Amino acid sequence: MRHLTDIPDLTAEEIDELISVACDIIERPDRYSQVCLRKKIATLFYEPSTRTRLSFETAMLDLGGSVIGFSSADNSSVAKGESVADTIKTVSCFADIIAIRHPKEGAAYVAAANSSVPVINAGDGGHSHPTQTLTDLLTIKREMGRLGDLTIGCCGDLKFGRTVHSLISAMSRYSGVRFVLISPEELTIPDYVRCDILDKNHIPYKETRDLETSIPDLDILYMTRVQRERFFNEADYVRLKDTYVLTPEKLAGASDNMRVLHPLPRVNEISVSIDSDPRAAYFRQVRNGKFIRMALIMMLLGLTPGF
Amino acid sequence: MIIGNLVNGVVIDHIPAGRAMELYRLLKLDSLQCEIALIKNAASEKHGRKDILKIGQLDGIDFSILGYIDSEITINYIENGVRVRKFHPQLPDTIYDLIKCKNPRCITTTEQELPHVFRLTDPGTRTYRCVYCQTPAGR
Ligand SMILES: [Zn+2]
């Protein structure tokens, strides 16, 4: 039984294959519209995440399948205190594949260990969110035409931002990748990313506090949200949340080929006036998320278009 | 069993001073029927002070957890009053239900029936991580 609880569950070749299938789906969606006929995905969302849930559900619908599940823990058996293990054992009797979102770290691991059908981690607390990372990789590939020889700026909350850690890890295996890590002192990348990923693989990187002077060198600017829930006191949050806001003035220094990515939802770290700039790729990124999830569902179910 | 004159059994030596009781608990020695001696703060040439556990039986004890506690510990098998084997414990690959994850966001904090499982991820730094959330075990 194949599951996806974290990016390391996939080999480099499988990631490349997912990206290439997603690109093919974008080119010829009709070819894939019946692949999951009569298959059901259960989206088990123990905490609301509308964007991610709709992306999974639309992915399954566009493959010709259907959807069951719940969108919050309030009105399900979960509210009566059922364990993740028991819920998964039950749901895997009904569904062909499960996507689980849970506020606790490791919930997807528990789900996978108790499921008789493939489980996809749709985010487990601050831990991992592998389909976001796959979405980011597909977006970089489509926007830049390549995944190597890139200077990638990561800006914002680099300490708690799981999507950034996962992106750095996933991009580190492509040649010629450099990182510019832009964050306040309090939110720099954790040691395990610095030592176990960057230093260990001899990846060049620079840490800086300054977004404006870093922008001209970048091919990709990956913006992240500074999350309120990561702070123990409100004053620290208020002081830091506006530090790294991308404005048209700052973007003016960027190359025409640079692309701005963001896992969304944003608070105010990207000025709305940038949305119409061709360099703003974050809504195209949302669209890519559906296509990579279609490719992933097919891979885990062992299904192909068949003609 | 006479202390210092164990005929058949195991001597766990060079235990960091003061930790023998903890090991007694971790090795579940209270479930054994044999004679057991716990020596605290014995003089040691190497360590100044050390603890020693003497257990009057050879089988039925899983020593793998000792490697997690301290690799300097020695395990001595005694048969007919003679030491037949002396070795340092290996780092166990997996630790079940002995340490708890300290990450307040870990699934093990809300789902009480889950076993607490840690896996050795870096023998060089003796790092164990929670299998659920990958948080390193607090030492
Ligand atoms: Zn944990």
Position B4 in a domain = no
Residues B132, A84: C-beta atoms closer than 8 Å: no
Burial of A10 (0-12, 13-18, 19+ CB in 10 A): buried
Round the average pLDDT of chain B to a whole number and report it.
89
Calculate how far, in angstroms, residue B31's C-alpha sits from the geometric centre of ligand 1.
29
Position A306 in a domain = no
A190 shares a domain with A276: yes
Check residue B59 and give its pLDDT.
85
Using only C-alpha atoms, chain A has a radius of gyration, in whole angstroms, of 19
Residues B107, A107: C-beta atoms closer than 8 Å: yes
The b-or-e profile of B81-109 (16+ CB within 10 A means b, else e) is: eeeeeeeebeebeebeeebebebebbbbb
Give the residue numbers spanning the domain of B48. Answer: 9-87
Instruction: Please write the tens of the pLDDT for every residue from B70-116.
Output: 888 999 999 998 999 999 998 999 999 888 999 999 999 999 899 99
Check residue B126 and give its pLDDT.
86
A113: closest chain B residue by CA:
B132
Check residue B4 and give its pLDDT.
65
Q: Is A300 on the interface with B (CB under 8 A)?
A: no
- Tell me what the mean pLDDT of segment A144-159 comes to: 95
How many domains does one find in chain A? Answer: 2
A28 shares a domain with A161: no
Residue A161: pLDDT band (50, 70, 90) is confident
Please state the pTM of the whole predicted model: 0.87
Nearest to B103 by CA among A174, A166, A126, A153: A126
Greater confidence (A231 vs A292) lies with A292
Position B138 in a domain = no
CATH classification of the domain holding A30: 3.40.50.1370
Calculate how far, in angstroms, residue B106's C-alpha sits from the geometric centre of ligand 1.
4
Q: Do the Cβ atoms of B130 and B137 come closer than 8 Å?
A: yes
Distance CA A167, CA B67 (A): 35
Q: Which residues have CB atoms below 5 A from the ion given as ligand 1?
A: B 101, 103, 106, 130, 132-133, 135
DSSP string, B60-77: S---TTHHHH-TT-EEEE
* pLDDT beyond 90 at A57: yes
Instruction: Please write the tens of the pLDDT for every residue from B112-136.
Output: 899 999 999 888 888 999 999 999 9
CATH classification of the domain holding B66: 3.30.70.140
B104 shares a domain with B54: no
Residue A194, SS3 per DSSP: helix
Distance CA A242, CA A239 (A): 7
Place of tokens 């050390």: B50
A151 shares a domain with A124: no
Nearest chain B CA: its distance from A171 CA (Å) = 21
Check residue A230 and give its pLDDT.
67
Calculate how far, in angstroms, residue A163's C-alpha sits from the geometric centre of ligand 1.
19
Position A259 in a domain = yes
Residues A105, B110: C-beta atoms closer than 8 Å: no
Q: Is A222 on the interface with B (CB under 8 A)?
A: no
A160 shares a domain with A221: yes
| ipTM of predicted complex | 0.85
* pLDDT beyond 90 at A239: no
Check residue A167 and give its pLDDT.
96
Residue B45: pLDDT band (50, 70, 90) is confident
Calculate how far, in angstroms, residue A234's C-alpha sits from the geometric centre of ligand 1.
27
Give the residue numbers spanning the domain of A179. Answer: 130-285
Check residue A222 and give its pLDDT.
98
A114: closest chain B residue by CA:
B114
* Amino acid found at A237: Y
A140 shares a domain with A59: no
Of A84, A85, A126, the CB nearest to B105: A126
* pLDDT beyond 60 at B2: no
Nearest chain A CA: its distance from B134 CA (Å) = 8
* pLDDT beyond 60 at B46: yes
Residue B68: pLDDT band (50, 70, 90) is confident
B73 shares a domain with B21: yes
Instruction: Please write the tens of the pLDDT for every residue from A71-123.
Output: 988 866 676 789 999 999 999 999 999 999 999 999 999 999 999 999 999 99
Check residue B1 and give its pLDDT.
44
A119 shares a domain with A61: yes
Say if strands B82-87 and B74-79 run parallel, antiparallel, or are unpaired: antiparallel
Instruction: Please write the tens of the pLDDT for every residue from A162-213.
Output: 899 999 999 999 999 999 999 988 889 999 899 989 999 999 999 999 999 9
B15 shares a domain with B44: yes
Cα distances from A214 to residues A203, A209, A246, A263, in angstroms, run: 18, 9, 12, 20
Nearest chain B CA: its distance from A106 CA (Å) = 4
- Tell me what the mean pLDDT of segment B13-40 comes to: 91
A189 shares a domain with A45: no
- Tell me what the mean pLDDT of segment A273-286 comes to: 97
How many domains does one find in chain B? Answer: 2
Q: Which letter does DSSP use for residue A270 in this model?
A: B
For chain A, the straight-line distance linking the first and the last C-alpha, in angstroms and rounded, comes to 25
Q: Do the Cβ atoms of A281 and A248 come closer than 8 Å?
A: no
Structure tokens at A227: 């999350």
Greater confidence (A63 vs B64) lies with A63
A28 shares a domain with A118: yes
Least confident of A128-132, A156-160, A280-284: A156-160
- pLDDT above 90: percentage of residues in chain A: 79
Distance CA A164, CA A223 (A): 9
Residue B3: pLDDT band (50, 70, 90) is low
Distance CA A32, CA A210 (A): 45
Residues A84, B107: C-beta atoms closer than 8 Å: yes
Distance CA A122, CA B50 (A): 50
Instruction: Please write the tens of the pLDDT for every residue from A240-277.
Output: 777 788 999 999 999 999 999 999 988 889 999 999 99
Distance CA A296, CA A40 (A): 14
Check residue A160 and give its pLDDT.
84
The b-or-e profile of B25-52 (16+ CB within 10 A means b, else e) is: ebbebeeeeeebbbbeeeeeeeeeebbb
